[in-house]
């Protein structure tokens, strides 16, 4: 950082790949910020001011290779192989993280980790005659209990990879999916939630939610190639 007294920077605890910035106070001229991420070094030039428009100058947003190995960086073909290895196994490691609703069940089976990524294996079961059509899966972090409306901030989490991209669960069928998320640790009484939302007319679709606690994430075992 150019002048540490001008710019305040911190890593968001819930999302270690997100940085929050603000000026300590208005200042003249320019300062700089250096970021090391996924094996590269980025240098940003910062100015203090008020603007009603944000401009991204991507043509000058360049980087240089940082020393050492790029921790947490894996190509899709490696993620694919790791997911396939997970799906070859049948044993559940996580207990009690599940929900049932109107003949549909969703259950978290395992959590494993490798090179800065978390792998969540989820099984979805349809015990009805009708196919369950998946509209989307929604991942986010919020408070463990929300009995009434509060102003607590939710953090959306986007998977970096999905193995099957499940869109339909046929009747009397179970399917398994693996979601890959960046490493995260949940502070305080926060939980990670996964919601499966049914594609249906209006707002009539069934929604099933898993609540994943920090203790389950911290128990994630190292995933190794066999």
Task: Name the residue among 166, 170, 75 with its Cα closest to residue 127.
Answer: 170
Could you report the per-residue pLDDT of 69-94, keeping only the tens digit for each? 333 468 888 999 999 999 998 888 89
Global pTM value: 0.67
Handedness of CA 199, 203, 204, 210 (dihedral sign): positive
What pLDDT does residue 73 have? 66
Which pLDDT score is estimated for 39? 58
What's the pLDDT at 48? 79
Contacts within 8 Å (CB) and 24+ apart, 30-35: 30/2, 31/1, 31/2, 31/3, 31/6, 31/7, 32/1, 32/2, 33/1, 33/2, 33/7, 33/9, 34/1
Looking at domain 76-222, which of 3.40.50, 2.60.40, 1.10.3210, 3.30.360 is its CATH number? 2.60.40
Q: Decide: helix, strand or coil at residue 28.
A: coil
**In the chain, what are the domain boundaries?**
7-65, 76-222
pLDDT of residue 150: 55
**Shortest CA distance to 72 belongs to which of 165, 160, 137?**
160
Q: What is the per-residue pLDDT across 172-208, written as a single tens digit (0 to 9) for each?
A: 999 999 999 999 989 888 999 999 999 998 888 999 9
Could you say which residues of the chain have pLDDT below 70?
A: 1-2, 12-17, 37-40, 51-73, 146-152, 225-226
């Amino acid at each position: 950082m150019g002048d540490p007294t001008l710019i305040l920077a911190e890593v968001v605890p819930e999302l270690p790949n997100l940085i929050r910035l603000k000026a300590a106070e208005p200042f003249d001229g320019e300062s700089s910020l250096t970021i090391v991420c996924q094996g590269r070094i980025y240098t940003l030039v910062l100015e203090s001011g008020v603007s009603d428009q944000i401009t991204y100058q991507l043509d000058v947003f360049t980087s240089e290779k940082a020393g050492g190995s790029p921790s947490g960086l894996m190509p899709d073909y490696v993620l694919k192989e790791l997911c396939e290895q997970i799906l070859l196994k049948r044993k559940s490691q996580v207990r009690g993280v599940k929900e049932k609703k109107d003949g549909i069940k969703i259950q978290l089976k395992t959590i494993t980790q490798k090179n800065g990524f978390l792998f969540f294996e989820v099984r979805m079961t349809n015990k009805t005659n009708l196919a369950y059509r998946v509209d989307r899966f929604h991942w986010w972090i919020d408070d463990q209990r929300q009995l009434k409306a509060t102003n607590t901030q939710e953090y959306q989490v986007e998977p970096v990879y999905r193995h099957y991209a499940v869109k339909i669960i046929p009747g009397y069928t179970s399917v398994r999916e693996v979601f890959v998320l960046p490493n995260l640790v949940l502070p305080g009484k926060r939980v990670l939630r996964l919601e499966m939302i049914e594609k249906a007319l209006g707002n009539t679709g069934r929604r099933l939610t898993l609540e994943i606690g920090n203790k389950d994430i911290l128990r994630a075992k190292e995933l190794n190639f066999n």
